[in-house]
C-alpha cells in the first residue's frame, strides 16, 4: 500500500479482494487504511457477507464479524458500519476516525446519482480511466439520473477519452454534454478535441453550427500550436536528436528508443487498466 502498517491483529493467510481498486488486503489495519483513503468508494454493500466471512474465518475476529452481521440485519447506516470497523483496531486516531465517519455520513446523504458520480469521479482521479468510463456510462443508462448531471457525466467521459487520445470520441461526448448541461466549458472542449483530432472539416462545420466567434477559433488553434511546440516537447525532440547523433551503434540506439516507447506503453496501459 505504499507505507508500513503496524498490525496488532492476525494477518490473514488469504486476502480480501476489493474489486473497486483491484486490491488485496490482509488485516483489519489495512482495511481501515483503505476506508480512510477511499471514503468516496464506500457503500453499504461493502460491509456484506463476503467481508464478514473474511473477518470471521481469516482475521479470526468473531466478535467483530457477529457485530457487523447484527448491524446489517438491523439495517444500520453506512457510517455506523464504518465506525464499527475503524474502532476495531488502532490504525487510526480517534480524531481521524471521527473525520472519516463524518465524511462517510456526508457522502451517504447525497442522492443515489450523485453518489455514483462521485465514485466514478474518484476512479478518474486515481487514473483508472477505463473503469471510470464504464461507471459513467452506467449513470447515463439510468433513467433516474437528472439531465444536468448526465451532461456533466458526458463531459467527464469526454475528458477520459481525451486523456486516452481518442479525440473523436471525446468530441462526441463533449457535444452531448453541452446539449444537456449548456456549459460553455463542454462546448469549447468539443472544439479543442476536434482540432486535436486533426478534423479541420468537422471543426469548421461545428463552428458554423454553434456560431463560434472567429476570435475563439483562432485562440483554440494558437493554444494547440503552443502545446505542441512547448518547451517540454522541444526538449524531448532535442534529446531524441542528441541520442541519435551520439549513439553510433544502431542496436544501442534502437534499445534506448524502445525503452522510451515501453515507458509510454506502460503509462498508457495504466490509464486503460480495468
Q: What is the DSSP string of 104-154?
A: HHHHHTS-HHHHHHHHHHHHHHTT-HHHHHHHHHHHHH-TTS-HHHHHHHH
Tell me the pLDDT band of 228, cut-offs 50, 70 and 90: confident
The grid coordinates of residue 36 equal 480512510
Per-residue model confidence (pLDDT) at position 66: 97
Q: Dump pLDDT digits (tens) for 73-117.
A: 999 999 999 999 999 998 999 999 999 999 999 888 888 888 889
Closest CA relative to residue 206, chosen from 223, 188, 221: 188
Per-residue model confidence (pLDDT) at position 138: 93
Same domain, 127 and 176: yes
Tell me the pLDDT band of 265, cut-offs 50, 70 and 90: low
Same domain, 90 and 28: yes
Closest CA relative to residue 150, chosen from 137, 132, 169: 137
Residue 159 lies in a domain: yes
Average pLDDT along the chain: 88
Give Cα 144 to chain centroid, integer Å: 23
Computed over its alpha carbons, how large is the radius of gyration of the chain? 24
Q: Which residues contact 162 (CB under 8 A, 6 or more apart)?
A: 170, 189, 193, 196
Last residue of a domain, one of 108, 135, 162: 108
Tell me the pLDDT band of 2, cut-offs 50, 70 and 90: very low
Same domain, 59 and 96: yes
Per-residue model confidence (pLDDT) at position 233: 64
Closest CA relative to residue 22, chosen from 45, 1, 7: 1
Q: What average pLDDT score do residues 120-135 get?
A: 89
Residue 36 CB burial class (10 angstroms; 0-12, 13-18, ≥19)? middle
Residue 266 lies in a domain: yes
Strands 16-18 and 23-25 turn out to be: antiparallel
Residue 80 lies in a domain: yes
Domain housing 185? 112-228
Per the listing, cell 480524531 goes with 95
Give Cα 136 to chain centroid, integer Å: 11
Same domain, 189 and 266: no
CB 220 within 8 A of CB 195: yes
Q: Dump pLDDT digits (tens) for 170-220.
A: 999 999 999 999 999 999 999 999 999 999 999 999 999 999 999 999 999
Residue 1 lies in a domain: no
H helix intervals, the chain: 28-37, 49-57, 62-73, 78-86, 94-108, 112-125, 129-141, 147-163, 167-181, 184-196, 200-209, 214-228, 231-246, 250-272
Instruction: Quote the percentage of the chain above a pLDDT of 70.
Output: 91
Per-residue model confidence (pLDDT) at position 269: 62
Same domain, 123 and 41: no
Q: Is the pTM of this model over 0.85?
A: no
Residue 10 lies in a domain: no
Number of separate domains in the chain = 3
pLDDT at 262 over 80: no
The grid coordinates of residue 189 equal 472542449
Residue 259 lies in a domain: yes
pLDDT at 224 over 60: yes
Would residue 182 be called left, alpha or beta, if left means φ above 0 and alpha means ψ between -120 and 50 degrees?
Answer: left
Per the listing, cell 526538449 goes with 235
Q: Where is pLDDT greater, at 31 or 246?
A: 31
Least reliable range by pLDDT among 42-51, 109-118, 225-234: 225-234
Same domain, 28 and 97: yes
* Residue 51 to residue 45: CA distance in whole angstroms: 10
Per-residue model confidence (pLDDT) at position 1: 44
* CATH code, domain carrying 165: 1.25.40.10
Tell me the pLDDT band of 274, cut-offs 50, 70 and 90: very low
Residue 5 lies in a domain: no
Q: What average pLDDT score do residues 14-41 get?
A: 91
Residue 4 lies in a domain: no
Amino acid at each position: 500500500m505504499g507505507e508500513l502498517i503496524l498490525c496488532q491483529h492476525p494477518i490473514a493467510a488469504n486476502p480480501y479482494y476489493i474489486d473497486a481498486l483491484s486490491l488485496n488486503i490482509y488485516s483489519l489495519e489495512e482495511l481501515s487504511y483503505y476506508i480512510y483513503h477511499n471514503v468516496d468508494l464506500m457503500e453499504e454493500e461493502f460491509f456484506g457477507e463476503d467481508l464478514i466471512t473474511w473477518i470471521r474465518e481469516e482475521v479470526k475476529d468473531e466478535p467483530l464479524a457477529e457485530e457487523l452481521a447484527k448491524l446489517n440485519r438491523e439495517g444500520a447506516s453506512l457510517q455506523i458500519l464504518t465506525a464499527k470497523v475503524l474502532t476495531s483496531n488502532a490504525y487510526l486516531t480517534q480524531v481521524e476516525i471521527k473525520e472519516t465517519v463524518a465524511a462517510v455520513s456526508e457522502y451517504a446523504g447525497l442522492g443515489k446519482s450523485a453518489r455514483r458520480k462521485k465514485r466514478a469521479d474518484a476512479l478518474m482521479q486515481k487514473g483508472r480511466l477505463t473503469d471510470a468510463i464504464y461507471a459513467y456510462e452506467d449513470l447515463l443508462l439510468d433513467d433516474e439520473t437528472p439531465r444536468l448531471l448526465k451532461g456533466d457525466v458526458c463531459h467527464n467521459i469526454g475528458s477520459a477519452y481525451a486523456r486516452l487520445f481518442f479525440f473523436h470520441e471525446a468530441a462526441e461526448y463533449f457535444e452531448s454534454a453541452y446539449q444537456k448541461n449548456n456549459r460553455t466549458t463542454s462546448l469549447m472542449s468539443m472544439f479543442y478535441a476536434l482540432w486535436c483530432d486533426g478534423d479541420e472539416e468537422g471543426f469548421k462545420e461545428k463552428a458554423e453550427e454553434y456560431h463560434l466567434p472567429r476570435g475563439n477559433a483562432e485562440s483554440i488553434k494558437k493554444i494547440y500550436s503552443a502545446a505542441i511546440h512547448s518547451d517540454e516537447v522541444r526538449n524531448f525532440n532535442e534529446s531524441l536528436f542528441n541520442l541519435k547523433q551520439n549513439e553510433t551503434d544502431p542496436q544501442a540506439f534502437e534499445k534506448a528508443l524502445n525503452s522510451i516507447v515501453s515507458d509510454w506503453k506502460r503509462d498508457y496501459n495504466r490509464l486503460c487498466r480495468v
